[in-house]
Structure 1
Amino acid sequence: MSPNPEAVLSVRDLSVSFRTDARTVHAVDHVSFDLAAGEVLAVVGESGCGKSVTSMAVMGLLPPTAHITGSIRLGTRELAGGDDKAYGKIRGKDIAMIFQEPMTSLNPVLTIGRQIGEVLRRHQGLSKKEARARAVELLDLVGIPAPAQRVDEYPHQLSGGMRQRVMIAIAVACDPAVLIADEPTTALDVTVQAGILEVLQSLRERLGTAIVLITHDLGVVADIADRVLVMYAGRPVEQAPVDELFATPRHPYTRGLLSAVLRPGASAASDGGGKRRLPEIPGLVPSLDSQPDACTFAPRCDRADERCTTARPGFKSVTDDAGAGAPHLAACWHPNTLQEAAQ
């Protein structure tokens, strides 16, 4: 499958492995997706499924022990195989990232204004005074009150939600075409989460920024995403528009994830002792030491047969639309029918 010329970010057959003296871990295995301008693509799955490694590979932030194959195109530029110097020219300017934990990502001994101004001075050549003035504007843009005061404060003087907004301000300082948000609402209370999502939505609408949202929170996905890519054990297993995925999940793993989400008015299964519990996916996530030429979800799937354990399913359309550009794709030999998915 060739890159989409209309996509601002096009990833094709991205694979990432980490070699050590004892073993090789296959963290990402042939992931492909396109991202259009102003679109939000949510990447979801259990911990260890390769979401963050995929985003770090796109940003060129993986350690030297990582072996990367495949294509990563930002517009017309090929990023895969680029060195730190090449990435340094675009990172923060054309593509930026919001990291999971702002307290460890922000420098504790530098003021907020200086940290925001650094990217502005590097990529836009602003003077110190101009960068500070722009930093105040950015803090106001992301909803931080009294920005002219906060610009001279340090990270420890801000709440967790405000630090996360500072990270967003740094990421969007140069109006990047692509913004990668890695668990931007983790460890934040519900009210603050809503505020962060509102900021991301506003940035998408005002600046036309395309967003890759890495998360395990399906409630967040429902609120903000246009499309969803579901990953399992380093592989893509399903991709669809968000409404279609929630209404008719075709891969058994996706259906299991959605079934485990508590919904208002939904009843959980009884454990036999009078208590109610959510459905769960049996078994454990497989080791990533080796990627079998088979379905990695087969050991946990009640639909698996001999074919599932001996041959790898292709990532293909489960609708009448043909080809890899179809809106609903799944990697499954026995996907749920529309009737089963809607139940």
Structure 2
Amino acid sequence: MTETVLEPVPSAAAEPVLSVRDLSVSFHSDTRTVHAVDKVSYDLAPGEVLAVVGESGCGKSVTSMAAMGLLPPTARIEGSIRLGGRELVGASEKELRHVRGKDIAMIFQEPMTSLNPVLTVGRQIGEVLRRHQGLSRKEAKARAVELLELVGIPAPALRVDEYPHQLSGGMRQRVMIAIAVACDPAVLIADEPTTALDVTVQAGILEVLQSLRERLGTAIVLVTHDLGVVADAADRVLVMYAGRAVEQAPVHDLFASGRHPYTRGLLGAVLRPGGEGKRRLPEIPGLVPSLDSQPDACTFAPRCSRADDTCTGGRPALRAVDRRSGEDASHRAACWHPHEETAPGPGPVPAPGTEPDGPTGPVGTPSGDLEARPDQEAGK
């Protein structure tokens, strides 16, 4: 049994600045084909922050790199990516160079390897300005100082002549943000912008992104595995698993009542303040499937305690899970047997296999371990 796959996902805005439809990305080699992204769809409204979450290897960064046109020649891209009405899939390299940095920009995960070590930060920021706005070298440097001040770097007139190795990790990340927003792009993709930064610096980076959104109206795709960052910065969340979108919801709805079993597994594995040593941290049994092929079934079924023959017999669509809101509901899940809505309460949603009304631990979460069938023990 197969359900129509992944209907278009509605957004809060009638005219999204970025619209992704049925995006699939595969990588071919002499020995195998890896299906990294499989029919992912989402819309991004002006000024919105959409968080894309999931464990490593689920396709988050590949989806973002496809939107930027930065994937290698071995990648095969299918589907549609429309930026303000302009189709990016199949666009020439010349067309993409005109768009990158001007209409859509990206903050890369590791600034130390993304910045050029032999050029000053001012020159690297100025390169974008001279390319897209035609500024002179002097004008570009003056604007670079303004951008460094915008992203919160102290003494920007001095920092503009320094090299990346002379800056701290947090400052290098701010330089990356300055380069990305230099031409006021409509869409900013932030790929793990707070990775390897301490908590204080993370907070500063998120504050910069929030300030830029308020000042410039920039829409942001925030790629991350940190659910704390998601709760603090996002408006909506797209959860990915094994290359597929499995749930999409407003951030408060997702944290209050995640409906897909995988989403509940992610939320259940988050450390809670004051809960150390009082209960075992839940884990999702089993292993992530190989991406050599994408089955016509739920990819999470082998690890899910709710799975039955329906789950292995057809692929579920990303559809509304709140029937009271109709088919235009903003909370959607790709699951044949989604969890029921959790009643509002002080604690997070329970982990997979636990009951919302069961006994709770000291932080308001169910105290039972994950429920799994005998053949779903971790590593089997």
Return the TM-score normalized by structure 2: 0.86
Shift of residue 338, structure 1, vs aligned partner: 1.1
Shift of residue 264, structure 1, vs aligned partner: 1.9
Q: Which residue pairs with 2:321 in the alignment?
A: 318
8 A contact 2:9–2:41 mirrored in 1: no
1:180 maps to amino acid: I
Give the distance between the partners of 2:300 and 2:137, measured in 1 at CA. 53
Give the distance between the partners of 1:10 and 1:159, measured in 2 at CA. 36
8 A contact 1:45–1:216 mirrored in 2: yes
**Deviations 1:219-241 (Å, cap 9, x if unpaired)?**
00000000000000000000000
1:132 maps to 2:141 = yes
Shift of residue 267, structure 1, vs aligned partner: 6.7
1:223 maps to 2:226 = no
Which residue of the other structure, out of 322, 332, 335, is the alignment partner of 2:335? 332
Give the distance between the partners of 1:339 and 1:112, measured in 2 at CA. 49
Q: Which residue pairs with 2:214 in the alignment?
A: 205
Give the distance between the partners of 2:109 and 2:220, measured in 1 at CA. 15
Going from structure 1 to structure 2, the CA distance change for 1:2 and 1:309 (only over 3 Å counts) comes to closer
Q: Which residue pairs with 1:159 in the alignment?
A: 168
1:193 maps to amino acid: Q
Q: Which residue pairs with 2:291 in the alignment?
A: 288
Give the alignment of 1:1-343 within 5 angstroms. 1=7, 6-266=15-275, 276-320=279-323, 321-323=325-327, 325-339=328-342, 343=356
Write out the 4+ residue segments of structure 1 that deviate beyond 6 Å after TM superposition: none
Going from structure 1 to structure 2, the CA distance change for 1:287 and 1:203 (only over 3 Å counts) comes to same
Give the distance between the partners of 2:277 and 2:218, measured in 1 at CA. 39
Cα RMSD (Å): 1.4
2:313 maps to amino acid: T
Shift of residue 306, structure 1, vs aligned partner: 1.0
2:303 maps to amino acid: R
Return the TM-score normalized by structure 1: 0.95
**Deviations 1:144-182 (Å, cap 9, x if unpaired)?**
000000000000000000000000000000000000000
Identity %: 80
Shift of residue 266, structure 1, vs aligned partner: 4.2
Give the distance between the partners of 2:236 and 2:225, measured in 1 at CA. 15
**Deviations 1:287-309 (Å, cap 9, x if unpaired)?**
00000000000011000011111
* Greater mean alpha carbon deviation, residues 331-340 or residues 28-37: 331-340
Give the distance between the partners of 2:280 and 2:268, measured in 1 at CA. 11
**Structure 2 gaps, min length 5:** 1-6, 344-348, 351-355, 357-380
Give the distance between the partners of 1:64 and 1:83, measured in 2 at CA. 13
* Greater mean alpha carbon deviation, residues 44-53 or residues 311-320: 311-320
Give the distance between the partners of 1:267 and 1:151, measured in 2 at CA. 45
Give the distance between the partners of 2:35 and 2:223, measured in 1 at CA. 19
8 A contact 2:107–2:191 mirrored in 1: yes
Give the distance between the partners of 1:144 and 1:222, measured in 2 at CA. 25
Q: Name the SS of the counterpart of 2:56 in structure 1.
A: coil
Going from structure 1 to structure 2, the CA distance change for 1:267 and 1:339 (only over 3 Å counts) comes to farther
1:251 maps to amino acid: H
Aligned length: 336
Shift of residue 310, structure 1, vs aligned partner: 1.5
Shift of residue 257, structure 1, vs aligned partner: 0.2
8 A contact 2:35–2:292 mirrored in 1: yes
1:223 maps to amino acid: D
1:335 maps to amino acid: P
Q: Name the SS of the counterpart of 1:277 in structure 2.
A: coil
